């Protein structure tokens, strides 16, 4: 396996956390979901957005990524908007294994609607614009891209594992 963690990027709803857990489990590696780490340290993401704004959240996210990259982690799942913060984008560009989980907008919208229990602060009327704006940013820092449409979590995880052995 290549040096450094496997870092998963992609828009909200593409399955970064589920795929990350599957990869880590299959490889016997540690796993970190940055959103979960931020919530443990700072409280609910929705509250962070409403009380302090997106920029504050992105700074926390960048710090969490920087910390995670200095740890000996096997797999890291990022938040969907991490690429919009320039310092985070630079950190990602310095990683040897950044996997973009790519899905069409229609699938993302379907998954977000089906997952009503997850309250996503940026799943609003600007979702399509946000989606299209982020695609070139993901492309800019990804070392590989996996189209997730019509694939199971296990199939996606196995493709990623095979690509890094």
Spell out the per-residue pLDDT of the chain, length 165, in tens: 456 899 999 998 899 999 999 999 999 999 999 999 999 999 888 888 888 888 999 999 999 999 999 988 899 999 999 999 999 999 999 999 999 999 999 898 887 776 555 555 545 566 788 899 999 999 999 999 999 988 999 999 999 999 875
Hey, what are 155's tokens?
A: 């199939």
Q: Residues for the chain: how many in total?
A: 165
Distance CA 79, CA 76 (A): 10
Residue 121 burial class via C-beta count within 10 angstroms: exposed 0-12, middle 13-18, buried 19 and up: middle
Distance CA 11, CA 103 (A): 8
pTM of the model: 0.91
Map out the domains of the chain as residue ranges: 6-164
Whole-number Cα distances in Å, 128 to 5, 66, 76, 93, 156:
30, 29, 25, 25, 24
Q: Which fold has domain 6-164?
A: Rossmann fold (3.40.50)
């Amino acid at each position: 396996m290549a040096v450094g963690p496997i870092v998963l990027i992609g828009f909200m709803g593409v399955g970064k956390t589920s795929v990350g857990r599957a990869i880590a489990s299959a490889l016997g590696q540690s796993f970190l979901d940055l959103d979960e780490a931020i919530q443990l340290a700072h409280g609910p993401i929705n509250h962070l957005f409403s009380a302090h704004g997106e920029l504050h959240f992105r700074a926390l996210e960048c710090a969490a990524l920087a910390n995670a990259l200095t740890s000996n982690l096997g797999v890291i799942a990022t938040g969907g908007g991490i690429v919009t913060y320039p310092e985070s984008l630079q950190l990602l560009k310095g990683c040897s294994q950044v996997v973009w989980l790519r899905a069409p907008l229609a699938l993302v919208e379907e998954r977000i609607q089906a997952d009503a229990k997850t309250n996503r602060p940026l799943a609003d009327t600007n979702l399509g614009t946000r989606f299209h704006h982020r695609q070139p940013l993901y492309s800019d820092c990804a070392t590989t891209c996996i189209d997730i449409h019509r694939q199971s979590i296990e199939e996606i995880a196995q493709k990623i594992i095979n690509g890094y052995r």
